[in-house]
Amino acid sequence: MTKSEIGRFAIKPSRHSTLASQTIIAYRQMTKIVGRTVLGGKFLSIGECMVELSQAGDGLLRRGFAGDTFNTAWYSRACLPADWSVDYFTALGDDPLSGEMLAMMQGAGIGTSHIRQIAAKTPGLYLITLKDGERTFSYWRDTAAAKKLADDADHLRRAIEASDIIYFSGITLGILAPDAIDTLFSELRRAKAAGKTVAFDPNIRPRLWAGKDVMLKTIEDGARASTLVLPSFDDEKAHFGDADVAATIARYHALGVANVVVKDGPNGVTLSFGGDVQHVPAVEAKAVVDTTSAGDSFNGGFLSRLLTGATPAEAAAHGAAVATTVIGHHGALIDPSLLPR
């Protein structure tokens, strides 16, 4: 989108643009911002964290843990002040690997008290293979405990009611059975109606879905349940056929989403908070080593600043700085001490 297009889009009369300033004021009240003083809060990320196996040479495999919503929880924890809690919501098994994953989360300062452990279940697993410099991913997740994360509606409700911001993704939705998606949506809608922030990254992954129609319809329903969506333009163009970033923003506003943040790789992000459109450039990457988790880490950096009193543009600049640091290192999860302050 050119700058003049952004301007035209911003002033296009719509019920959203007239609501822009109220939206931001309401947002700041909702996030407990009094002047520039921000009180702490509770961040809940819902989804699947998997066991990651990568090549360590000589036929050996290195074991790690990662998953889109967990990566965002990791970077949110790294960027939020200590008076904010960050909890992960998923289901795990009662096997040793599930225990190691829980210990890793706790070691990172991420709360695990909402995580249900299901007897005789195990976490999902993926293997990264390098062929001619290209990474390919093989998944074993059909029987993963995380597929049952929304099966206990009361448990899910208690976790959501205890939180100020709830974050989920299209991957969270893609692993769930239809009934479980309905349960999750009804709890998210309840949270939205109660004035909480419900943030959604569509993270469109066709291989998780039975067909394109159900995938796109469920992503749209996820957006309807949200107050803020953070899509990646490449995905939206490929699957919804959006001609440009403005089309992605307009489509999500039309679904009733007040705030939209469209990520576009090195082209930066375009924000539309209540129809007030701004472009924030990416931070130039001196070296792109591994783009895994670029979007997830942007989301963590962005949300952590937005929740603690920054303007959307300031928050996006921090998200971009975090993402550029992350893609300069190997792996989805980098040591928090490497991140910009």
Catalytic amino acids?
A: 296
Residue 328 contacts ligand ADP per CB under 6 A: no
List, as own/partner pairs, every contact residues 247-250 make where C-beta atoms lie below 8 angstroms and the sequence separation is at least 24, other chains included.
249/9, 249/277, 250/9
Q: Rule CB under 6 A: is residue 204 a binding residue for ligand ADP?
A: no
Scan for tokens 């931001």, then name that residue: 24
87: contact with ligand ADP by CB under 6 A: no
3-state secondary structure 195-213: CCEEEEECCCCHHHCCCHH
Among 232, 259, 272, 308, binds ligand ADP (CB under 6 A): 232
Instruction: Indicate whether 236 belongs to the interface with ligand ADP (CB under 6 A).
Output: no
Asked whether position 214 contacts ligand ADP by CB under 6 A, the answer is no
CA distance 294 to 231: 12
- The 300-319 contact track toward ligand ADP, x by CB under 6 A, reads --------------------
Segment near ligand ADP (CB under 6 A); pick from 19-27, 128-136, 184-192, 292-300: 292-300
Q: Where are the beta strands (DSSP E) in 202-289?
A: 228-229, 259-263, 269-273, 276-280
Question: Site residues for ligand ADP, window 262-281 (CB under 6 A)?
Answer: 263-266, 268-269
| Structure tokens belonging to residue 212 | 């394109």
| Alpha-carbon span 9 to 180, nearest angstrom | 37
> Rounded to an integer, what distance in angstroms lies between the CA atom of residue 190 and that of residue 318?
30
Q: Does 295 bind ligand ADP (CB under 6 A)?
A: yes
Residues 42-71 close enough to bind ligand ADP by CB under 6 A: none
The number of residues making up the chain comes to 341
Count of residues near ligand ADP by CB under 6 A: 19
The Cα 259–Cα 223 span in angstroms is 10
Choice between 64 and 265, CB closer to ligand ADP: 265
Strand ranges for the chain from DSSP E: 33-34, 37-38, 42-46, 50-55, 61-66, 85-89, 91-92, 116-117, 125-131, 134-140, 165-169, 197-201, 228-229, 259-263, 269-273, 276-280
Q: Quick one: 190 exposed, middle or buried, by C-beta within 10 A (0-12, 13-18, 19+)?
A: middle
- Give the residue, chosen from 26, 285, 309, 328, that forms a contact with ligand ADP under the rule CB under 6 A: 285
Residue nearest ligand ADP by beta-carbon distance: 295
Residue 332 in the binding site for ligand ADP (CB under 6 A):
no
CA distance 230 to 200: 6
Which residue from 79, 298, 305, 315 is in contact with ligand ADP, where contact means CB under 6 A? 298
Residue 97 contacts ligand ADP per CB under 6 A: no
- Contact between 324 and ligand ADP per CB under 6 A: yes
> Minimum distance between the CB of residue 251 and ligand ADP, rounded to whole angstroms?
17
Nearer to ligand ADP, 102 or 257 (CB): 257
Task: Give the footprint of ligand ADP on this chain (CB under 6 A).
Answer: 232, 234, 263-266, 268-269, 282, 285, 288, 291, 294-295, 298, 320, 323-324, 327
